[in-house]
Amino acid sequence: MKYTTLFVIKVLIIFYGCHNHGLKTKQKEIEKSIISWYNKDLILSDTLVILEDGEKRTIPKEEFLQKKYKILSILDNDCRSCTISQLLFWDAFIMENIDIYDFQLVLFYCGPNEYFSDVLISELGIKYPIVLDHSSQILSYDIFDENIYHTVLLDHENRVILIGNYFDNKQLEVLYLEEMGRNAQR
Protein backbone atom coordinates (compact mmCIF):
# COMPACT_ATOMS: atom_id res chain seq x y z
CA MET A 1 0.00 0.00 0.00
CA LYS A 2 2.84 2.36 0.90
CA TYR A 3 4.53 1.80 -2.48
CA THR A 4 1.25 2.25 -4.35
CA THR A 5 0.65 5.58 -2.63
CA LEU A 6 4.20 6.73 -3.42
CA PHE A 7 3.80 5.64 -7.04
CA VAL A 8 0.51 7.57 -7.39
CA ILE A 9 2.11 10.67 -5.86
CA LYS A 10 5.08 10.45 -8.25
CA VAL A 11 2.79 10.01 -11.25
CA LEU A 12 0.73 13.02 -10.17
CA ILE A 13 3.88 15.11 -9.72
CA ILE A 14 5.19 14.08 -13.14
CA PHE A 15 1.78 14.67 -14.77
CA TYR A 16 1.41 18.07 -13.11
CA GLY A 17 4.97 19.00 -14.04
CA CYS A 18 4.41 17.99 -17.68
CA HIS A 19 1.05 19.73 -17.77
CA ASN A 20 2.53 22.86 -16.18
CA HIS A 21 5.46 22.73 -18.61
CA GLY A 22 2.99 22.52 -21.50
CA LEU A 23 1.19 25.61 -20.22
CA LYS A 24 4.47 27.49 -19.86
CA THR A 25 5.49 26.46 -23.37
CA LYS A 26 2.13 27.63 -24.77
CA GLN A 27 2.46 30.91 -22.84
CA LYS A 28 5.93 31.49 -24.29
CA GLU A 29 4.65 30.78 -27.82
CA ILE A 30 1.84 33.30 -27.33
CA GLU A 31 4.24 35.92 -25.92
CA LYS A 32 6.60 35.38 -28.86
CA SER A 33 3.72 35.81 -31.31
CA ILE A 34 2.54 39.00 -29.61
CA ILE A 35 6.04 40.48 -29.61
CA SER A 36 6.48 39.59 -33.29
CA TRP A 37 3.24 41.42 -34.16
CA TYR A 38 4.05 44.70 -32.39
CA ASN A 39 4.33 47.51 -34.97
CA LYS A 40 3.68 45.06 -37.81
CA ASP A 41 1.20 45.88 -40.57
CA LEU A 42 -2.07 44.00 -40.51
CA ILE A 43 -2.88 43.67 -44.19
CA LEU A 44 -6.57 43.50 -44.95
CA SER A 45 -8.28 42.60 -48.19
CA ASP A 46 -8.49 45.45 -50.72
CA THR A 47 -12.26 45.31 -50.56
CA LEU A 48 -14.45 44.58 -47.57
CA VAL A 49 -18.02 43.33 -47.46
CA ILE A 50 -19.79 45.26 -44.75
CA LEU A 51 -23.22 45.08 -43.23
CA GLU A 52 -24.60 48.45 -42.24
CA ASP A 53 -28.19 49.46 -41.56
CA GLY A 54 -29.34 46.01 -42.68
CA GLU A 55 -27.70 46.26 -46.11
CA LYS A 56 -24.60 44.56 -47.46
CA ARG A 57 -22.18 46.39 -49.66
CA THR A 58 -18.64 45.96 -50.88
CA ILE A 59 -16.31 48.92 -50.44
CA PRO A 60 -12.58 49.60 -50.81
CA LYS A 61 -10.79 49.24 -47.47
CA GLU A 62 -9.46 52.83 -47.77
CA GLU A 63 -13.02 54.13 -47.70
CA PHE A 64 -13.79 52.17 -44.58
CA LEU A 65 -10.56 52.55 -42.60
CA GLN A 66 -10.13 56.32 -42.41
CA LYS A 67 -9.66 57.06 -38.71
CA LYS A 68 -6.35 57.59 -36.93
CA TYR A 69 -6.91 54.48 -34.81
CA LYS A 70 -8.82 51.31 -35.45
CA ILE A 71 -9.92 48.85 -32.84
CA LEU A 72 -10.24 45.60 -34.76
CA SER A 73 -12.14 42.86 -33.00
CA ILE A 74 -13.38 39.47 -34.11
CA LEU A 75 -16.84 38.44 -32.98
CA ASP A 76 -17.32 34.99 -31.50
CA ASN A 77 -19.40 33.21 -34.11
CA ASP A 78 -19.58 29.95 -32.16
CA CYS A 79 -21.83 31.35 -29.47
CA ARG A 80 -24.94 33.43 -30.18
CA SER A 81 -25.20 34.84 -26.65
CA CYS A 82 -21.47 35.68 -26.70
CA THR A 83 -21.88 37.55 -29.98
CA ILE A 84 -24.84 39.46 -28.60
CA SER A 85 -22.88 40.37 -25.46
CA GLN A 86 -19.92 41.51 -27.55
CA LEU A 87 -22.10 43.62 -29.85
CA LEU A 88 -23.84 45.27 -26.90
CA PHE A 89 -20.49 45.88 -25.19
CA TRP A 90 -19.05 47.53 -28.31
CA ASP A 91 -22.21 49.57 -28.83
CA ALA A 92 -21.90 50.99 -25.31
CA PHE A 93 -18.14 51.50 -25.73
CA ILE A 94 -18.69 53.53 -28.90
CA MET A 95 -21.36 55.67 -27.29
CA GLU A 96 -19.03 56.47 -24.37
CA ASN A 97 -15.85 57.14 -26.35
CA ILE A 98 -16.46 58.10 -29.98
CA ASP A 99 -16.55 61.84 -29.27
CA ILE A 100 -13.38 61.70 -27.17
CA TYR A 101 -11.01 59.61 -29.28
CA ASP A 102 -10.28 59.51 -33.01
CA PHE A 103 -10.94 55.82 -33.59
CA GLN A 104 -13.06 53.46 -35.60
CA LEU A 105 -14.35 50.13 -34.43
CA VAL A 106 -13.82 47.42 -37.03
CA LEU A 107 -15.77 44.32 -36.08
CA PHE A 108 -15.22 41.16 -38.09
CA TYR A 109 -17.93 38.56 -38.12
CA CYS A 110 -16.31 35.30 -39.23
CA GLY A 111 -18.06 32.14 -40.17
CA PRO A 112 -20.34 30.73 -42.82
CA ASN A 113 -23.67 31.54 -41.17
CA GLU A 114 -24.88 34.57 -43.15
CA TYR A 115 -28.41 34.39 -41.80
CA PHE A 116 -27.07 34.52 -38.26
CA SER A 117 -25.00 37.63 -38.90
CA ASP A 118 -27.59 39.47 -40.99
CA VAL A 119 -30.59 38.82 -38.77
CA LEU A 120 -28.79 39.14 -35.44
CA ILE A 121 -27.16 42.45 -36.28
CA SER A 122 -30.39 43.87 -37.70
CA GLU A 123 -32.44 42.72 -34.70
CA LEU A 124 -30.05 44.40 -32.27
CA GLY A 125 -30.22 47.69 -34.14
CA ILE A 126 -26.44 48.02 -34.42
CA LYS A 127 -25.67 51.33 -36.15
CA TYR A 128 -22.01 50.82 -37.00
CA PRO A 129 -20.75 48.71 -39.90
CA ILE A 130 -19.61 45.14 -39.42
CA VAL A 131 -17.19 43.42 -41.79
CA LEU A 132 -18.57 40.09 -42.97
CA ASP A 133 -15.76 37.61 -43.34
CA HIS A 134 -17.65 34.42 -44.09
CA SER A 135 -14.50 32.68 -45.30
CA SER A 136 -12.71 33.66 -42.03
CA GLN A 137 -9.66 35.11 -43.82
CA ILE A 138 -8.80 37.39 -40.90
CA LEU A 139 -8.31 34.30 -38.74
CA SER A 140 -5.40 33.20 -40.94
CA TYR A 141 -3.13 35.54 -38.96
CA ASP A 142 -1.47 33.65 -36.12
CA ILE A 143 -2.11 36.50 -33.71
CA PHE A 144 -5.79 35.54 -33.69
CA ASP A 145 -5.21 31.91 -32.70
CA GLU A 146 -6.38 32.55 -29.14
CA ASN A 147 -9.77 34.17 -28.40
CA ILE A 148 -8.26 36.41 -25.74
CA TYR A 149 -6.25 38.10 -28.50
CA HIS A 150 -9.17 38.69 -30.85
CA THR A 151 -8.90 42.47 -30.41
CA VAL A 152 -6.05 44.70 -31.58
CA LEU A 153 -5.44 48.42 -31.71
CA LEU A 154 -4.10 49.59 -35.07
CA ASP A 155 -2.56 52.94 -35.89
CA HIS A 156 -3.31 55.04 -39.00
CA GLU A 157 -1.08 52.75 -41.11
CA ASN A 158 -2.77 49.58 -39.74
CA ARG A 159 0.25 48.66 -37.63
CA VAL A 160 -0.46 46.72 -34.45
CA ILE A 161 -0.01 48.83 -31.30
CA LEU A 162 -1.82 46.78 -28.64
CA ILE A 163 -3.12 43.23 -28.55
CA GLY A 164 -5.72 41.76 -26.24
CA ASN A 165 -9.46 41.45 -25.95
CA TYR A 166 -10.68 43.76 -23.24
CA PHE A 167 -14.27 42.64 -23.40
CA ASP A 168 -13.76 41.06 -19.95
CA ASN A 169 -10.64 42.98 -18.87
CA LYS A 170 -11.00 46.60 -17.73
CA GLN A 171 -7.21 47.01 -17.40
CA LEU A 172 -6.78 46.39 -21.12
CA GLU A 173 -9.58 48.84 -21.88
CA VAL A 174 -7.70 51.49 -19.90
CA LEU A 175 -4.51 50.73 -21.87
CA TYR A 176 -6.33 51.12 -25.19
CA LEU A 177 -7.89 54.43 -24.13
CA GLU A 178 -4.60 55.72 -22.72
CA GLU A 179 -2.78 54.87 -25.96
CA MET A 180 -5.40 56.60 -28.11
CA GLY A 181 -5.45 59.59 -25.73
CA ARG A 182 -1.67 59.90 -25.54
CA ASN A 183 -1.25 59.85 -29.27
CA ALA A 184 -4.17 62.22 -29.82
CA GLN A 185 -2.16 64.90 -28.02
CA ARG A 186 0.93 64.55 -30.24
CATH number at residue 83: 3.40.30.10
The reply to whether 52 and 138 lie within a common domain is: yes
The helix or strand, by DSSP H or E, that contains position 69, with its residue range, turns out to be: strand 69-75
Q: Which residue has the higher pLDDT, 6 or 121?
A: 121
- Long-range contact pairs involving 19-22 (C-beta distance under 8 Å, separation at least 24): none
User: What's residue 13's pLDDT?
Assistant: 40
The reply to whether 91 and 175 lie within a common domain is: yes
The reply to whether 108 and 84 lie within a common domain is: yes
Q: Residue 143's pLDDT band (boundaries 50, 70, 90)? A: low
The reply to whether 133 and 164 lie within a common domain is: yes
Q: In terms of Cα–Cα distance, which of 171, 172, 165 is closest to 82? A: 165
The reply to whether 153 and 106 lie within a common domain is: yes
The reply to whether 87 and 131 lie within a common domain is: yes
Q: In terms of Cα–Cα distance, which of 26, 20, 49, 23 is closest to 145? A: 26
Compute the mean pLDDT over every residue in the chain, rounded to the nearest whole number.
75
The reply to whether 27 and 3 lie within a common domain is: yes
Position 7 pLDDT exceeds 70? no
The helix or strand, by DSSP H or E, that contains position 74, with its residue range, turns out to be: strand 69-75
The reply to whether 99 and 129 lie within a common domain is: yes
The reply to whether 16 and 60 lie within a common domain is: no
The reply to whether 140 and 63 lie within a common domain is: yes
Tell me, what amino acid is at 22? G
Q: Which residue has the higher pLDDT, 68 or 168?
A: 68
Assessment of whether the complete model's pTM goes beyond 0.85: no
Number of domains in the chain: 2
Which range among 4-13, 66-75, 80-89 shows the weakest confidence by mean pLDDT? Answer: 4-13
Could you list the residue range(s) of the whole structural domain that residue 145 is in? 41-184
User: What's residue 114's pLDDT?
Assistant: 63
**58, 132, 151, 149: CA torsion to nearest 10:** -130
Between the alpha carbon of residue 42 and those of residues 65, 66, 116, the distances in Å are: 12, 15, 27
